Amino acid sequence: MNTDLYPNVTVLANQAETNRVLRNTYALLALSMIPTVLGAWIGVSTGILSAMSPMASMLVFFVGAFGLMFAIEKTKNSSTGVFVLLGFTFFMGLMLSRMIGLVLHMRGGAEIVMLAFASTAAVFLAMATLSSVIKRDLSGMGKFLMIGAVLVMVAGIANVFLQSGAMMITISVLVAGIFSAFILHDLKAVRDGYETNYISATLNVYLDLYNVFQSLLALLGIFGGRDE
């Protein structure tokens, strides 16, 4: 059947495909939390990252993260991409364990971690809701968000050497804001049909959530935590 002669059929088919990608993205995103939590638990339990210097840890993070993201990009059109993505989320959980371990050693540390998780979930819910009601095309905001993300990443690397508490707070606030907006942008990209691969969409939203959680955990740890 020539769908060009039946525009309503074409619209419905496109909407059905968009809904399928969105459902698969949400499902895979939920599944990705399991290896993330497992990686973080193993990292905290074994203290595997504690022996590394901040510089060595940062090097391992960048090599591992970008290597796995490259592998995801190469396999995203097959079922292998799902397993590579889950391996990536395990690695990211493992790399997050150093910060979680530090917070857990504070008074009320477990509550701080749970509050950061709940706050991240609330941000996701708010952005997901906005992505479903906003009709405006938000694709143009991606360029400005990316510039902001690069700038805060450079500032974060610089602060590894500067060790400035004020800069860390500023960076964490900016990261929370930028990547909250990225959640809206990336979910809207799926809804508007710009992103049609659910593995790529999941990776994008996962990274947004990861950065929001990490920044909120840092802020809550700074303002709410006290060493035991």
Chain position carrying tokens 């902001």: 148
Give yes or no for residue 226 having a pLDDT over 70.
no
Chain position carrying tokens 């991409």: 81
Give yes or no for residue 122 having a pLDDT over 50.
yes
Q: Provide the mean pLDDT of the chain.
A: 90
DSSP string, 57-102: HHHHHHHHHHHHHHHHHHHTTSTHHHHHHHHHHHHHHHHHHHHHHH
Q: Around 127, how many Cα atoms within 13 Å sit in the side-chain half-sphere?
A: 25
Average pLDDT over residues 122-138: 94
Q: Is 176 helix (H, G, I), strand (E, B) or coil?
A: helix
pLDDT in tens, 44-90: 999 888 778 777 888 899 999 999 999 999 999 999 999 999 999 99
What's the total number of domains in the chain? 1
Q: What pLDDT was estimated at residue 40? A: 95
pLDDT in tens, 142-201: 999 999 999 999 998 888 788 888 899 999 999 999 999 999 999 999 999 999 999 999
Q: What pLDDT was estimated at residue 9? A: 55
Give yes or no for residue 93 having a pLDDT over 60.
yes
**What is the spatial distance between Cα 205 and Cα 32, in angstroms, rounded to a whole number?**
11
Beta strand residue intervals within the chain, DSSP E: 106-107, 226-227
Q: Report the predicted TM-score, pTM, of the whole model to 2 decimal places.
A: 0.90
Which percentage of the chain shows pLDDT scores above 70? 93
Q: What pLDDT was estimated at residue 3? A: 47
Q: What pLDDT was estimated at residue 72? A: 97
**What is the spatial distance between Cα 37 and Cα 30, in angstroms, rounded to a whole number?**
11
DSSP string, 6-24: -HHHHHHHHHHHHHHHHHH
Domain region containing 194:
3-227
